[in-house]
Homo-oligomer: A and B are copies of this chain.
Amino acid sequence: MRDVAEHAGVSVRTVSNVVSGYPHVSPATRARVQRSLDELGYRMDYLARGLRSGRTGFVALAVPFLAEPYFAELAQAVVKAAARRGVTVLIESTGGDSEVERRILAGGLTNVADGVLLSALTVPPEAAAVQPDFPLVLLGEHGVGDRLPRVGIDNVAAARTVVEHLLDQGCRRIVALGRNGSENGRQRTEGYRQALAAARVRPVNWLVVPVDDWTRKQGYDAVRRLLDGSGPLPDAVFAFNDALAIGALRALDASGVRVPGEVAVASIDDVQEAAYAHPPLTSIAPDLDVIAERALTLLEEQAASQDAGPAGSAPDAAPFRLVVRESSLRAPNAPNVPSGREASPRLASAGEGGQ
């Protein structure tokens, strides 16, 4: 910048004024500086700006596994929303390592980012208890410390919606696939329970199958074990996310079980892959755009407020929709076409998120 100033014959400060769009610069000077800027190929050093001004224009997003489609699509939505605000997203993949997550909660990304969005598998309670001194919003995870602001769908309601749909299809022996140590898993189990209880399903038909993590492989293995077991077959599988459902579908197919004829399948996430599954997968579609938008807004509000740290959480949940596809239709007369979010509007009933 000093070079540019010399080249244009003005002070460093004036160059800064031109670059940052300060209004009181004469057109002549502005033009001359601009020319020098171009000629010398000046590039702003964002670090220096960040150091002086305290704001970097970065927002950090930490997710457990970038290669998991749900998180990739979430990241994409955040990047898109951030671009609209002129903000660059710095993505970090924690690998689900709670040590890394702890480090982030402890402020490991402060100074380099104006705010942090954390999508943790499980927020350790003791970490959730402390009040961070930087803008922070949790994505998805919920319920542990309501002290931390959070954006996500109502997991209980989402699970209940899926199970109610399966009940509507005449299923009575529904497996809940995916309980693990996570809070999300607990809540989705709870939604499953509520739906069954409301429908007065006999307790002998309540089946909760645990898994280690929410991957295709775990879904495949769990269903394989289920089919090899001695108990009566279920007539539906409610998978806690699409990856588990995809694995379940493959296992059912491998065992020659017809879907949805013998077993209906539905889950939560509605990743792109779901519409191309075999058969196309019924799933809950969280509104990722709204989630991303709201999360960034919360960060901005925190940054603007004096105390800088996360304030009391706004507890309203993000909206979601149930996207019904062939995998859960017991009387399959729907066309066997991949139906995206807009492709089958008549089949998509509104979710109950947002309240």
The residues of A with any CB-CB pair to B shorter than 8 Å are 41, 43-48, 50-51, 56, 65-69, 72-73, 75-76, 79-80, 83, 88-93, 95, 107-108, 110-112, 216-217, 220, 246-247, 249-250, 253-254, 272-273, 275-278, 335-338, 340
Do B338 and A216 have beta carbons less than 8 Å apart? yes
How many copies of the shown chain assemble into the complex?
2
**Closest 10 A-B residue pairs measured CB to CB?**
A278-B278, A72-B72, A91-B91, A67-B76, A79-B93, A45-B111, A254-B336, A67-B73, A66-B76, A90-B90
Residues of B near A112 (CB, < 8 A) are 46-47
Given contacts A272-B216, A337-B254, contact A75 B93 (CB under 8 A): yes
Residues of B near A65 (CB, < 8 A) are 76
Do A43 and B76 have beta carbons less than 8 Å apart? no
Q: With the chains together, A57 CA to B321 CA distance in Å? A: 41
Q: With the chains together, A90 CA to B67 CA distance in Å? A: 16
Which of B47, B89, B110, B275 is close to A50, meaning CB atoms less than 8 Å apart? Answer: B47
Residues of B near A216 (CB, < 8 A) are 272, 275-276, 338
Residues of B near A56 (CB, < 8 A) are 47
7 inter-chain pairs at a CB distance below 8 angstroms, sorted by A residue, are A43-B110, A66-B66, A66-B79, A72-B72, A89-B92, A91-B91, A247-B276
Do A67 and B272 have beta carbons less than 8 Å apart? yes
Q: Can you add 11 more A-B contacts, CB < 8 Å, to A88-B92, A250-B278, A278-B278?
A: A41-B107, A46-B112, A47-B47, A66-B91, A67-B272, A75-B91, A83-B95, A89-B92, A91-B91, A249-B278, A254-B336
Residues of B near A93 (CB, < 8 A) are 75-76, 79-80, 89
Q: Which of A51, A65, A276 lies at the interface centre, i.e. has the most chain B CB atoms within 10 A of its CB?
A: A276
Do A72 and B79 have beta carbons less than 8 Å apart? no
What distance in Å separates the Cβ of A252 from its nearest Cβ neighbour in chain B? 11
Q: With the chains together, A112 CA to B108 CA distance in Å? A: 17
Q: With the chains together, A80 CA to B247 CA distance in Å? A: 25
Do B66 and A250 have beta carbons less than 8 Å apart? no
Do A111 and B47 have beta carbons less than 8 Å apart? yes
Q: With the chains together, A43 CA to B105 CA distance in Å? A: 12
Do A336 and B111 have beta carbons less than 8 Å apart? no
Residues of B near A275 (CB, < 8 A) are 216
Q: With the chains together, A83 CA to B217 CA distance in Å? A: 25
Q: With the chains together, A243 CA to B152 CA distance in Å? A: 28
Q: Which of A50, A67, A92 lies at the interface centre, i.e. has the most chain B CB atoms within 10 A of its CB?
A: A67
